[in-house]
Amino acid sequence: QVQLQESGPGLVKPSQTLSLTCTVSNVPIATDYYYWSWIRQPPGKGQEWMGSISYSGNTYYNPSQQSRTTISRDTSKNQFTLQLSSVTPEDAAAYYCASTWCIGSGCPRANDYDFWGQGTQVTVSS
């Protein structure tokens, strides 16, 4: 079973860059056909997919956030990270990392996650 754990600052100032790390256990993140995603949920709103990184390092971003989002990985630490630049109070949310095993065309598929981290709350305030 894949285990994921988010870490990072709970408070970020406006205009700064938010950086979160997801540490994965039990499966190397370079294992074939695994996709690793970031999802957030602002208070009172639905979930929003931020982006994903594949087992081979390919990245996929939500077009609405693409200009501010970078997802990267460190296979030696079995971690992947989310960086969101120029944050505003609208970026305050619970941020989750998640995993998907997907093979074939159309991967990664929307809203198709097998395992989730517990989430980390991010506040944007000066």
* The CA-based dihedral angle spanning residues 32, 117, 67, 106, taken in that order and rounded to the nearest 10 degrees: 40
Closest Cα partner for 59 from 69, 68, 45, 46? Answer: 69
Q: Find residue 4's DSSP bridge partners.
A: 24
The answer to whether residues 122 and 17 touch, using CB atoms and an 8 Å cutoff, is no
Alpha-carbon torsion (12, 17, 100, 40), positive or negative: positive
Tell me: the pLDDT tens digits for 46-98?
999 999 999 999 999 999 999 999 999 999 999 999 999 999 999 999 999 99
Distance CA 40, CA 112 (A): 14
Tell me: the pLDDT tens digits for 29-50?
999 999 999 999 999 999 999 9
Please tell me whether residue 67 adopts helix, strand or coil conformation: helix
